[in-house]
Every structure is written in C-alpha cells, then in structure tokens.
Chain A
Amino acid sequence: GQQVMQIPQYQHVQEGEDFTTYCNSSTTLSNIQWYKQRPGGHPVFLIQLVKSGEVKKQKRLTFQFGEAKKNSSLHITATQTTDVGTYFCAGPGWNYGGSQGNLIFGKGTKLSVKP
C-alpha cells in the first residue's frame, strides 16, 4: 500500500548544529504537511506545501517540496533546545476509486539537542 517514509528515525545534535529530516512518498502527493510533537505533547501543524519545488521558511526552519512531489525535507539551521521533539510529515493517501483519502503520516524523526 501507499507509504510515507521518513529518515532518520532519530537525530542527536549539539546545540547550534543544523538538522535535516527527509520524507519520501511511494506516490505523487497533492500536498505535504509537517507537524511537530514536543515531548509529552500532541502533534501541532507547522506548514503545508502544495506546489512542485516549493520552498517555505519559518524563521530557522526551511521546508522543501520536491519537483516530482514525492519527497520533502525540513531543515533547521542552528538548532536550539526548543527544537526538541518529533517531526512528522504527512501526505494525502489515495482510495482505490482514485479519490484522495486520509492523511498518511510518516513515522517521524525524533530530534534531541544537547545544550
């Protein structure tokens, strides 16, 4: 079935280092969404990318959507301890009839930052 894969599963960085997580879909996506879950908290929506090759920035976070709309990345510049958490990507699934189904979430990348 349709899959959304994320790598790496875990990433440990020193504060100030950069961090990147990658998301790959087995099918073309109409959009890709990114969520952040702080330890002990719930996932919170960060951003949605829709266009092929789209790049969006939120302060130190840079989000990219691949040209083929099958992959995406989240890059954090100069990580801070407040960046700690699990980052999930999610893309719409497809029903057997060809209509779009529910969001399929990747398994997430857990980021830890050492002060």
Chain B
Amino acid sequence: SQTIHQWPATLVQPVGSPLSLECTVEGTSNPNLYWYRQAAGRGLQLLFYSVGIGQISSEVPQNLSASRPQDRQFILSSKKLLLSDSGFYLCAWSATASTDTQYFGPGTRLTVL
C-alpha cells in the first residue's frame, strides 16, 4: 500500500532563516505531488505541483520554491522565511491524472517568529 511521509512534524524558525521541508511517497511510481499551505482555520492553498522529476509548477508567487530531485521526493524550500510563511504545510500525492483523489501527508506545522 502507499504511504506518504513528511518531516519535520513541527518547526519553529526565526524570520530570515532558511527552510527545507521534505515529503516522500512509498508504494507508487510517478505520482503527481503537491504542496499546500493552510493558515489557521482556513482552506487549502495550492503552492506547487509536480508531474515528474524536475517538473515544478508554481500556483502562487512567493518566497518559497519546490524541487523534485527523485520520483517520490518533493521538497519545499525558502531562503529567507517571513512571518507570513507560518502555517500548516501539507504534501499530497495523486495517481497520474491531476484530477485523481489526493492523499495527504501528516503535515508540518511551521511557526515563524
């Protein structure tokens, strides 16, 4: 069966520090991968999605970036965090079609101070 991992689970970072969040998927090949951000009590904001290695599409311009160095690895990064980057970051995967059911990881709760 497929599983999706995210780490760390919780992170507290100072403003201006770098960020690296990692997501890995097991049990499937060539998945579509997604990064979402969820502000407290709010909906899901799609940040990036990837249909294959090295292929990244950005939905919202901001100081975040994403990379997919391996088929089942998706990384979210920032060179300098802003206060507004605080939130709950969720990684998700789906089968080939972008409209397929999405399966979410446990998430990383990021607080920028």
By the criterion CB–CB under 8 Å, are B105 and A42 in contact? Answer: yes
Residues of A within 8 A of B102 (CB): 43, 45, 90, 103
By the criterion CB–CB under 8 Å, are B99 and A107 in contact? Answer: no
Main secondary structure of the interface of B (DSSP, over half): loop
By the criterion CB–CB under 8 Å, are B104 and A44 in contact? Answer: yes
Q: What total count of A-B pairs have CB within 8 Å?
A: 46
Q: Which of B1-51 contact A (CB under 8 A)?
A: 34, 41-44, 46, 49
By the criterion CB–CB under 8 Å, are B104 and A48 in contact? Answer: no
User: Is there a chain A Cβ closer than 8 Å to B60's Cβ?
Assistant: no
Chain A 39-69, CB-CB to B under 8 Å as 1, else 0, gives 0011111001000000000000000000000
By the criterion CB–CB under 8 Å, are B101 and A101 in contact? Answer: no
By the criterion CB–CB under 8 Å, are B43 and A105 in contact? Answer: yes
By the criterion CB–CB under 8 Å, are A105 and B105 in contact? Answer: no
The docked-state distance in angstroms from the alpha carbon of A90 to that of B97 is: 15
Select B41's contact among A33, A45, A110, beta carbons within 8 Å. Answer: A110
By the criterion CB–CB under 8 Å, are A48 and B44 in contact? Answer: no
B4 to chain A, nearest CB (A): 9
Known: A30-B99, A100-B98. A42 touches B104 (CB 8 A): yes
Known: A42-B104, A42-B105, A42-B107. A100 touches B42 (CB 8 A): no
The docked-state distance in angstroms from the alpha carbon of A105 to that of B37 is: 12
- Nearest B residue to A102, CB-CB: B98
By the criterion CB–CB under 8 Å, are A31 and B99 in contact? Answer: yes
Chain A 94-105, CB-CB to B under 8 Å as 1, else 0, gives 000000111101
Select B42's contact among A41, A42, A107, beta carbons within 8 Å. Answer: A107
By the criterion CB–CB under 8 Å, are B44 and A45 in contact? Answer: no
The docked-state distance in angstroms from the alpha carbon of A107 to that of B42 is: 7
A-B contact pairs, 15 of them (CB 8 A): A31-B99, A41-B106, A42-B104, A42-B107, A43-B104, A45-B101, A92-B99, A101-B98, A102-B98, A103-B99, A103-B102, A105-B43, A105-B44, A105-B46, A110-B41
